[in-house]
Chain A
Amino acid sequence: MSQTSSTDQIERSVLIKAAPERVWRALSNPQEFGTWFGCRLEGQQFAPGQRARGPITIAGFEHIVFDALIERMEAPSLMSYRWHPYAVDPAVDYSKEDATLVTFTLQAMENGATLLTVVESGFDKVPAHRRAEAFHMNGKGWEAQLRNIERYVTQ
């Protein structure tokens, strides 16, 4: 039996009309990553075993810090990092808690396109009270992200 329950992981994919090398740069270059993710990562490095930190730039979430421990960097096909989902309270030390693992995989498709898949796993190990918090934050995050998209498409 698989050890992964349906409540343990998330998987999403997107087909991007750009070569894997281009998508890889958008992921592996901290500055480019920050552009679409919504965080400021100037001066940071994405390298295995290294930590990358930077403030979120999305309106209403500026007090939150993107904080990831890079695990694998395999150009141009795989990047992974561990982080604490919704570590939103600056006063709380999340370092003792189990982190979730975020893995991006890039697959070359026809016509020079790229299939990008993200898997975030390990939710079953996130402490119960934090899950509730994450759930809460996610609801709000989703609303804010919608507003961002709306702004982006209507400008």
Chain B
Amino acid sequence: MSLSKTKGAAALAPEKLASVFAALGDPTRLKLVAVLCAGGAFSIAQLTTGTEISRQAVTKHLQVLAEAGVVGDLKQGRERLWQLEPHAIDEARQALEIIGREWELRLGRLKAFAESTP
């Protein structure tokens, strides 16, 4: 996790942000992120328990997420554990925040319009 977080739209380059969205734009990876969102570090075995997905497939998906900076790994003995890197997802959320603000402005204008004209 980064300590000094830059606020605002320019925090993450568009290309980088696009890779975050692309990494999240897959049902399996979204599920993995949802599991990792619970917090803590998980092994591949833990992530595949109770799912139909193979260890190889999960590893591949985690690598895509890692390239986009959404997850990171750490070694514990001989095992590799995966955890969420919240910064990238925060940035993706921030992009939607901006689109959301645009809707707020539009709704504000709609409010002013509907309230001022019968």
Contact = CB atoms under 8 A, between A and B. Distances in A.
Given A12-B104, A14-B108, A128-B19, A7 B92 contact: yes
Q: Is the contact region of chain A dominated by helix, strand, or loop, or is it mixed?
A: helix
B110 A26 contact: yes
Contact of B107 (A7, A12, A133): A12
B98 to A, nearest CB: 4
B116 to A, nearest CB: 9
A85 interface: yes
A14 B98 contact: no
Contacts of B112: 36, 152
A54 interface: no
Contact of A35 (B24, B27, B89, B113): B113
B26 to A, nearest CB: 9
Contacts of B45: none
Interface residues of B, number: 40
Given A22-B118, A85-B99, A118-B103, A139 B9 contact: yes
Chain A contact patch, size range: 35 or more
A7 B96 contact: yes
Contact of B114 (A1, A12, A18): A18
A27 B104 CA distance: 15
Interface of B: 9-10, 14-15, 17-19, 21-22, 24-25, 27, 30-31, 33-34, 89, 92-93, 95-96, 98-115, 118
Interface of A: 1, 3, 5-7, 9-18, 22-23, 26-27, 32, 35-38, 85, 114, 116, 118, 120, 123-126, 128-129, 131-136, 138-139, 141-142, 145-146, 148-149, 152
